[in-house]
Amino acid sequence: MMGSDAQTTPETRSQTERPEAAIFSGGSRRLVVISNRVPRGDGPPGGLAVAMKDALKNRDSLWFGWSGESPPEASDDVLTEQRGQTTFAVTDISADDYAGYYEGFANRMLWPAFHYRLDLSRYTESDFEAYARVNEQFAERVAPFIEPDDLIWIHDYHLIPLAAELRARGVSNRIGFFSHIPFPSPEIFHAIPHKDRLIEGLACCNLVGFQSARDRSNFERYVCAHAHGFWRADGRISVDGRLVRSKAYPIGIDAEDFRQKALAPEVAEKADALVRAAAGRKIMLGVDRMDYSKGLPERVDAIETLFRRYPELVGQCQLIQVAPVSRGGVEAYANLRERLETAVGHVNGEFSTIDWTPIRFVANAVPREEVAAMMRVASLALVTPLRDGMNLVAKEYVAAQDPDDPGVLILSEFAGAAEQLTGALVINPHNPEEQARAISKALVMSRDERVERYRENRKVLAERDSSWWSSSFLSDLESASVDDFAAELLDAVDTVRTAE
């Protein structure tokens, strides 16, 4: 087993170790995407839909997931709609199952645990039973749609057991899984109830993708230390006779598309209005969902520390913090909003003048074009999550900036983006003094240094965009060996469950 990311990994091994990689290319196989939700025909595209745009382009595909409906008694019907070359297939989840599967085990147990907040995790056996049941239902309902040559791509923490359920139903296709959120350290993961069932689901995939090398390493270390896994010479891990390859695929954005949004005439008008309202003061920007993983109270503490340590900056800059409410029905989020509003009120009460407040706090959703306008004119962006899989806000900020006079990105070392955006000022979000020093440095940084840092980050955006993300993952999935699960597949699945 690897001791650190510096040692030999699948990424550093030669392609000659996988001669089959040359056989499966060109994207001719039909792609089956399975996620909790599917894109709505009449609504704005979600983050996953935008990221999958290139993967679905010019190929036949099926996208399966929840319909968004939760009747008291859900049927097992699957409704389909054809849009271009993609068939969208949706199914209902009963109200009770939704409460346990989505609100319960997925978002009260897995989400906080995967973001290193075991103290906020809440577990009940009934929640896990609903989580397992919905994954079983998804497998049962999508299996009839799967054709022998399809590639299957499962997304995110809601559906970790799904691959095992598909294998148990005789699906032998190549299956890939991508985790959009962090994968926790082995010590954290080991504390999650039914972790063996989760590992079983991942081990039933040919390829497991993560946002960062740190997340991939955490998964590999757990499997080899706690799940009887071991490294093979070809870079895959053997788990109970099944072979799985794991790799980091940091998700990207269409940087040029976002830059054009920031330059659109209607956006330029909003940007000009923001500059006029700032009255010569520098704009600091934060754009986050209101989530305890985003480090929002810690950010407010850093702003207070900034004005105490650098009183000459009082009245010279302002933080615009956009934080629309996320999962408002969960107690932890209600507590977070109350804590955040209290902290913002304290800082504004302490430092405000007649014509200036340190923090403008917006708890409502802001249209995307207004966000682009804010990013275009902000002198610095604070992207300081306590833990994040990637955080695309950091990349969008870089894309929106003026290349000749760019702002500065201040980025948490615990965001996956920190592995790529090395032109950022990388900080520990738990340390308000360090954040304050970085803000002060950014506000007085020379244009030459800002341009150099911007170019370093912009190069990453160009080389590792959303198209690279999907094509890299699917190329590796297509090249996976299909015999990994041929022998004793059903026995292996049944053995793990019997042991539980």
| Catalytic site includes residue 194 | no
Q: Does residue 2 surpass a pLDDT of 90? A: no
Q: What is the mean pLDDT of residues 425-437?
A: 98
Same domain (yes/no): 23, 139? yes
Q: What is the pLDDT of residue 3?
A: 34
> Would you state the pLDDT for residue 489?
45
> Is residue 59 situated within a structural domain?
yes
Domain match, 280 and 200 both: no
- Give the number of domains in the chain: 2
pLDDT-based confidence at residue 299 (cuts at 50, 70, 90): very high
CATH number of the domain encompassing residue 92: 3.40.50.2000
What's residue 328's pLDDT?
A: 54
Residues 208-236, mean pLDDT to the nearest whole number:
92
Is the pLDDT assigned to residue 326 strictly greater than 90? no
Q: Which of 54, 127, 388, 465 is catalytic?
A: 388
Percent of the chain, pLDDT > 90? 79
Task: With respect to residue 4, please indicate whether it lies within any of the assigned structural domains.
Answer: no
Q: Do 131 and 169 reside in the same domain of the chain?
A: yes
- Answer yes or no: is 500 within a domain: no
SS3 for the chain is CCCCCCCCCHHHCCHHHCHHHHCCCCCCCCEEEEEEECCCCCCCCCHHHHHCHHHHCCCCEEEEEECCCCCCCCCCCEEEEEECCEEEEEECCCHHHHHHHHHHHHHHHHHHHHCCCHHHCCCCHHHHHHHHHHHHHHHHHHHHHCCCCCEEEEECHHHCCHHHHHHHCCCCCCEEEECCCCCCCHHHHCCCCCHHHHHHHHHCCCEEEECCHHHHHHHHHHHHHHCCCEECCCCCEEECCEEEEEEECCCCCCHHHHHHHHHCHHHHHHHHHHHHHHCCCEEEEEECCECHHHCHHHHHHHHHHHHHHCHHHCCCEEEEEECCECCCCCHHHHHHHHHHHHHHHHHHHHHCECCECCEEEECCCCCHHHHHHHHHHCCEEEECCCCECCCHHHHHHHHHCCCCCCCEEEEECCEHHHHCCCCCEEECCCCHHHHHHHHHHHHHCCHHHHHHHHHHHHHHHHHCCHHHHHHHHHHHHHCCCHHHHCCCHHHHHHHHHHHC
Q: Indicate whether 21 pLDDT > 60.
A: no
Active site (annotated) includes residue 180: yes
The answer as to whether 2 is a domain residue is no
In a shared domain, residues 67 and 104: yes
- The model's confidence at residue 13, banded by pLDDT at 50, 70 and 90, is very low
In a domain, 180, yes or no: yes
- Do 32 and 165 have their domain in common? yes
Q: Are residues 220 and 288 in the same domain?
A: no
Tell me, what's the pLDDT at 54?
A: 87
Residue 285: band (very low, low, confident or very high) from pLDDT cuts 50, 70, 90: very high
- In-domain check, residue 5: no
> In this structure, are 186 and 316 located in the same domain?
no
Query: How much is the pLDDT for 15?
Result: 31
User: 217 and 148 share a domain?
Assistant: yes
The answer, yes or no, to whether residue 11 has pLDDT greater than 60, is: no
Q: Are residues 226 and 289 in the same domain?
A: no
Q: What pLDDT is stored for residue 242 in this prediction? A: 86
Query: 474 with 455, same domain?
Result: no
487 and 397 in one domain?
no
In a domain, 18, yes or no: yes
What pLDDT score was predicted for residue 327?
Answer: 63
pLDDT of 60 > 60? The answer is yes
Rounded to two decimals, the pTM is: 0.89
261 and 378 belong to one structural domain = yes
Residue 1 lies in a domain: no
Active-site residue (options: 115, 155, 158, 180): 180
Query: Domain residues for 487?
Result: 10-252+466-495
**18 — pLDDT class (breaks 50, 70, 90):** very low
